[in-house]
C-alpha cells in the first residue's frame, strides 16, 4: 500500500498485531482497529463502486488530503490504495460528540460552542483550492439535487416505504419545488460537509476531529449548521439551538457575503430539507437495509419537523403540513 504519510511504528517487529472490527454505523464500509505495541491505526475497507470515473474512495483521498493541508482536524491518511478500496488512517478513538453530549461532566453549551468554532473553520478555510473534481456525488447542492436527493428521498424512503403512506410525487411537487429553489444554490462559492452531525465529530485527546468528509461539495453553509443543531442523536433544546445559530453568524458573517436576513432564510429552508433528509435516511437504513437501530431516532426527528412546520413554516408549505397531519394521525411506533 503506497504511503501518503509514512506511519511511525515504534514497536518492535516481534510485537503481536491485534485486529478488532469497528462499527461502521450507517455505512457499508468496514473499519478495523489495528494495534501493534503502542501503535494504533484504523484500516478502512471500502469496495469500489465506479470502476471508470471518480469514486467515493477517490473523493475520500482527495478531500481528506485537502482538508489536512488546510488545517482542518481530520484523521491523517497514512497510506491509501483507492482503486482497491484500502486506507490506513489515524485512529481518533471511539468517543464521538453524541456520547460527549450525554455525559454530565460536560457542559453541553461549551462543547457545542467548540463545534461551532470547528464549523466556522471549515467554511472559512476549505473553499480555497477545493475543486469540483474532488466530488464523486455531484459537486453542487443545487435545487435539482435538493429535489431529487433529499425531498424525493424523504417521500420514497420514509413516507412510502417506512410508514406506508400513498403519497405520489405530484402530491408534494409544488411544496418540494418551492423548498428546493429556496434551499439550493447555483454558485460554487462555499463548501459544505453535508453530514456535520454528532456521530461524525470525534472527541480525541481533548480535540475535535471531523470524520466522513467524502461527500463534501459546494453548497449553502447554513445546511451544515442545521445538520449540527437539528440532530436527533442529541436533540438540543431550542434555546441552545438559537444561541448557537447566533454564535455561528457572529463568527462567520465577515466571510459569508450575505446579510443576516439572507442567512437566516437559508437556515430556515436548509433546516427543513435536512430534517426531511434525516427521516428518509433513517427509514432507508432501518427498513430497507435492516439496520433497525436507526428507527429509534425517527420520533425525535418527527418532533423537530412538527416544531418547524407548526411554527415558522406553518403557512408556507401547505402540502407538507397536510402530510405531517397524516403522519401524526397514523401514530406508527418505531420502538
- Please state the pTM of the whole predicted model: 0.93
Residues 226 and 248 sit within 8 Å (Cβ to Cβ)? no
Q: How far apart are CA 22 and CA 29, in angstroms?
A: 10
Domain boundary among 67, 90, 113: 90
In-domain check, residue 120: yes
Q: What is the number of H-type helices and E-type strands within the chain? A: 11, 9
Same structural domain, 108 and 202: yes
Same structural domain, 55 and 144: no
Compute CA 318 distance to the chain's CA centroid, rounded to the nearest angstrom.
28
**126-178 pLDDT per residue, tens:** 999 999 999 999 999 999 999 999 999 999 999 999 999 999 999 999 999 99
| Residue where the block lists cell 459537486 | 139
Q: How far apart are CA 333 and CA 330, in angstroms?
A: 9
The residues that bridge with 22 in the sheet, in sequence order, are 31
In-domain check, residue 4: no
Same structural domain, 55 and 189: no
**79-117 pLDDT per residue, tens:** 999 999 999 999 999 999 999 998 876 799 999 999 999
**190-225 pLDDT per residue, tens:** 999 999 999 999 999 999 999 999 999 999 999 999
Closest CA to 248 of 140, 124, 125: 124
In-domain check, residue 43: yes
pLDDT at 313: 86
Q: How far apart are CA 276 and CA 271, in angstroms?
A: 9
Same structural domain, 22 and 155: no
Same structural domain, 82 and 101: no
Secondary element (H or E) of residue 200? none
Stretch 280-301: mean pLDDT, rounded?
A: 96
pLDDT at 13: 58
Greater confidence (53 vs 222) lies with 222
pLDDT band of 9, cuts 50, 70, 90: very low
Start-to-end CA distance of the chain, whole Å, equals 44
Domain boundary among 64, 90, 116: 90
Same structural domain, 33 and 118: no
Query: Quick one: DSSP state of residue 16?
Result: P
Q: Buried b / exposed e across 157-167, counting CB within 10 Å, b at 16+?
A: bbbeebbebeb
Range of 231's domain? Answer: 97-330
Query: Quick one: DSSP state of residue 320?
Result: H
**116-132 pLDDT per residue, tens:** 999 999 999 999 999 99
| Percent of the chain residues topping a pLDDT of 90 | 85
pLDDT at 52 over 90: no
Q: What is the CATH number of the domain that holds 268?
A: 3.90.1200.10
Q: How far apart are CA 11 and CA 2, in angstroms?
A: 21
User: Ramachandran region of residue 257, left (φ > 0), alpha (ψ -120 to 50) or beta?
Assistant: left
- CA angle, residues 28, 153, 86, in degrees to nearest 5: 20
Q: How far apart are CA 191 and CA 123, in angstroms?
A: 6
pLDDT band of 1, cuts 50, 70, 90: low
Residues 323 and 165 sit within 8 Å (Cβ to Cβ)? yes
Stretch 265-288: mean pLDDT, rounded?
A: 97
Same structural domain, 24 and 125: no
pLDDT at 311: 87
* Mean pLDDT across the chain: 93
Contacts of 125 (CB under 8 A, 6+ apart): 70, 71, 72
Q: What is the CATH number of the domain that holds 33?
A: 3.30.200.20
Residues 22 and 5 sit within 8 Å (Cβ to Cβ)? no
Closest CA to 122 of 14, 275, 255, 312: 255
Secondary element (H or E) of residue 192? strand 191-192
Greater confidence (8 vs 94) lies with 94
pLDDT at 331: 60
Same structural domain, 129 and 27: no
Same structural domain, 72 and 102: no
Stretch 40-68: mean pLDDT, rounded?
A: 92
pLDDT band of 51, cuts 50, 70, 90: low
pLDDT at 262 over 70: yes
Closest CA to 171 of 324, 319, 330: 319
pLDDT at 105: 65
Contacts of 195 (CB under 8 A, 6+ apart): 212, 215, 227
Same structural domain, 311 and 176: yes
Q: Please report, to the nearest 10 degrees, the dihedral formed by the alpha carbons of residues 84, 90, 94, 98 taken in order.
A: -90
pLDDT at 321 over 80: yes
**172-181 pLDDT per residue, tens:** 999 999 999 9
Residues 157 and 284 sit within 8 Å (Cβ to Cβ)? yes
Amino acid at each position: 500500500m503506497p504511503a501518503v504519510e509514512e506511519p511511525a511504528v515504534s514497536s518492535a517487529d516481534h510485537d503481536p498485531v491485534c485486529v478488532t472490527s469497528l462499527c461502521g454505523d450507517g455505512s457499508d464500509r468496514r473499519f478495523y482497529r489495528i494495534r501493534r505495541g503502542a501503535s494504533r491505526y484504523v484500516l478502512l475497507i471500502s469496495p469500489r463502486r465506479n470502476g471508470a470515473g471518480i469514486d467515493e474512495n477517490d473523493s475520500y483521498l482527495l478531500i481528506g488530503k485537502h482538508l489536512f493541508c488546510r488545517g482542518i482536524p481530520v484523521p491523517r491518511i497514512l497510506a491509501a490504495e483507492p482503486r482497491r478500496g484500502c486506507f490506513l488512517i489515524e485512529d481518533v478513538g471511539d468517543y464521538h460528540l453524541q456520547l460527549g453530549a450525554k455525559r454530565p461532566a460536560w457542559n453541553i453549551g461549551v462543547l457545542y460552542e467548540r463545534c461551532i468554532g470547528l464549523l466556522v473553520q471549515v467554511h472559512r478555510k476549505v473553499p480555497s483550492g477545493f475543486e469540483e473534481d474532488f466530488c464523486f456525488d455531484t459537486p453542487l447542492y443545487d435545487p435539482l439535487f435538493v429535489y431529487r436527493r433529499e425531498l424525493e428521498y424523504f417521500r420514497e424512503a420514509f413516507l412510502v416505504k417506512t410508514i406506508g403512506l400513498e403519497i405520489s410525487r405530484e402530491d408534494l411537487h409544488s411544496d418540494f419545488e418551492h423548498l428546493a429553489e429556496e434551499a439550493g444554490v447555483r454558485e460554487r462559492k462555499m463548501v459544505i460537509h453535508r453530514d456535520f452531525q454528532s456521530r461524525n465529530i470525534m472527541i480525541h485527546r481533548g480535540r475535535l476531529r471531523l470524520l466522513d468528509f467524502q461527500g463534501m461539495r459546494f453548497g449553502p453553509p447554513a445546511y451544515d449548521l442545521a445538520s449540527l443543531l437539528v440532530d436527533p442523536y442529541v436533540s438540543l433544546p431550542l434555546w441552545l439551538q438559537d444561541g448557537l445559530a447566533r454564535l455561528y453568524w457572529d463568527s462567520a458573517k465577515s466571510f459569508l457575503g450575505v446579510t443576516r436576513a439572507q442567512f437566516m432564510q437559508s437556515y430556515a429552508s436548509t433546516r427543513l430539507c435536512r430534517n426531511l433528509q434525516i427521516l428518509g435516511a433513517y427509514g432507508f437504513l432501518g427498513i430497507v437495509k435492516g439496520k433497525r437501530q436507526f428507527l429509534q431516532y425517527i420520533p425525535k426527528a418527527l418532533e423537530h419537523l412538527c416544531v418547524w412546520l407548526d411554527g415558522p413554516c406553518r403557512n408556507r408549505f401547505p402540502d407538507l403540513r397536510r402530510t405531517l397531519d397524516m403522519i401524526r394521525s397514523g401514530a406508527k411506533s418505531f420502538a
